[in-house]
Amino acid sequence: MEPLKLGIAGLGTVGAGLLELLTANGAHFANIVGREIRITGVSARSRSKARDAATAGIPWFDDPVALARDPSNAVFVELIGGEDGIAKAAVEAALNAKKHVVTANKALLAKHGFELARLAEKNGVALNFEAAVAGGIPVIKTLREALGANRVRRVYGILNGTCNYILTQMQTEKRPFEDVLKEAQALGYAEADPTFDIGGFDTAHKLALLTSLAFGTRVAFDQIHVEGIQSITQADIEATDSLGYRIKLLGVATETESGIEARVSPALVYKDSAIAEVSGVTNAVAIDGDFSGNILLVGAGAGAKPTASAIAGDILDIARGLIVPPFVTPTAKLKAHKRAKLDQHYGSYYVRLALYDKPGAMAAIARRMGDRGVSLESIVQHRPQTLHAPGAASHLSKDKAQPVIIITHETTEEAMRKALETIEKDGNVTERPQMIRIEEL
């Protein structure tokens, strides 16, 4: 059989990982699909940086769009990144030239996934993006193929290794946020702009793709509610720990009667839940299918080798002639994404208040919650040890504020929001209340 010819654009960490895999496992790959994989062109930003043994002798293209159009390859592998610009131009050029496309570009797909899927379908080619969500975890294939016959009720996960690493280190080593972020960057997990990670946007890109795959809707990144982990303090880590929870940055998408609730936010999960055990840079994705039940996939969400594994799996499918609609459902049948109102979210909440130390303040808090029909499961007034430590939440010591931790029974987000607005207006708190959803997983 004819060799499968690849053009690879982008030779950073992931591109280098793919070259390593194709060298190390090339013979195995050829053996299982019955055809050789051959790289017929490469392109990268800096030719001098990319020049090494793995690319020696392979035709070089300064322009990735030219590589995408070049008839020497049948598969265009896009590892450039970025939601627009050259990556988008090259992917479009490849699809229009009837090339199969394999990409790791979550930002591009979160923004233009529907149009690109339509273009791929029109040209009868594959648009595969396993590496775009949760690195080495085969979640796209799982949703597209293995669980394709299920109606998915909910999909959720820890989709950003940097955030999970930061929260884990804050928990286990009681180290400050900034310190741990620097370490994650040095380890190569964080995005070039780390606000993408800690602000929740990287998770939201991935959740936008999972939502479309799970619920048969058009990709709608702008319909996702996004909160990052910047507001999480040691006070939250300690208080939640003593109450039996861990804090995780979760992406959660649920199909409700009023639409799809898709949100990225810090969440409290029970310490003994499977997802609470997922620590460090590890990712996890859970899919709740109506016939399969809940399935949890855990593994490396980033890094050269796991990401290369996902890309090579996509190439393997193409080599075998397996072409499926990019978002499971053919694009003509993908529904518009109808957003559920987050105000109608129903669940329990954790609240941390910094309360002025004066008579009646605590009673006023409980009354304001009661006024909105919010029932309290527990209310604890305490000063965690680390609040005395140097560099710890200084506003608390300076204003003689008393930390108060509340766990509510289930209620609506609207009731919580309104109760906390009134509490702020009453002037009994020294700072904005912290509110985190408790996730029953």
Q: DSSP labels for 129-165?
A: -GGGSSTTS-HHHIIIIITTTSPEEEEEEE--HHHHH
91 vs 318: CA distance, rounded Å: 16
- Look up residue 25 and give its two tokens: 């496992």
Yes or no: say if 313 and 130 are a contact pair by the CB < 8 Å rule: yes
Identity of the residue, 308 or 340, whose beta carbon is nearer to ligand HSE in the bound complex: 308
**Least distance (Å) between residue 90 CB and ligand HSE:** 20
**Least distance (Å) between residue 161 CB and ligand HSE:** 4
SS3 content of the chain, % helix, strand, coil (to 5): 40, 25, 35
3-class DSSP state of 430: coil
**Least distance (Å) between residue 146 CB and ligand HSE:** 22
Identity of the residue, 160 or 211, whose beta carbon is nearer to ligand HSE in the bound complex: 160
CA proximity to 41, closest of 73, 1, 79, 82: 73
Identity of the residue, 128 or 402, whose beta carbon is nearer to ligand HSE in the bound complex: 128
Phi, psi of 401 (to 5 degrees): -80, 150
Identity of the residue, 161 or 299, whose beta carbon is nearer to ligand HSE in the bound complex: 161
**Least distance (Å) between residue 263 CB and ligand HSE:** 18
Residue 200 backbone zone (phi > 0: left; psi -120 to 50: alpha; other: beta) = left
3-class DSSP state of 226: strand
Q: For the chain, how big is the Rg over CA atoms in Å?
A: 24
Binding residues for ligand HSE (CB under 6 A): 135, 160-162, 189-191, 197, 202, 301-302
Yes or no: say if 100 and 318 are a contact pair by the CB < 8 Å rule: yes
Yes or no: say if 437 and 345 are a contact pair by the CB < 8 Å rule: yes
**Least distance (Å) between residue 309 CB and ligand HSE:** 14
Identity of the residue, 193 or 371, whose beta carbon is nearer to ligand HSE in the bound complex: 193
258 vs 339: CA distance, rounded Å: 8
Residue 134 backbone zone (phi > 0: left; psi -120 to 50: alpha; other: beta) = left
Of 5, 99, 141, 206, catalytic: 206
Q: Where are the alpha helices (DSSP H) in 187-333?
A: 195-198, 201-215, 234-242, 304-319
- Look up residue 300 and give its two tokens: 């490396």
DSSP label of 432: P
**Least distance (Å) between residue 244 CB and ligand HSE:** 27
25 vs 354: CA distance, rounded Å: 57
**Least distance (Å) between residue 297 CB and ligand HSE:** 15
Among this protein's residues, is 305 annotated catalytic?
no
**Least distance (Å) between residue 145 CB and ligand HSE:** 22
Identity of the residue, 193 or 426, whose beta carbon is nearer to ligand HSE in the bound complex: 193
Residue type, 125: V
Identity of the residue, 180 or 392, whose beta carbon is nearer to ligand HSE in the bound complex: 180
Yes or no: say if 219 and 336 are a contact pair by the CB < 8 Å rule: no
**Least distance (Å) between residue 159 CB and ligand HSE:** 7
- Look up residue 347 and give its two tokens: 């669940």
Identity of the residue, 113 or 433, whose beta carbon is nearer to ligand HSE in the bound complex: 113
Identity of the residue, 312 or 416, whose beta carbon is nearer to ligand HSE in the bound complex: 312
- Look up residue 20 and give its two tokens: 């390593």
- Look up residue 204 and give its two tokens: 């939201």
Residue type, 249: L
Residues acting as catalytic residues: 206
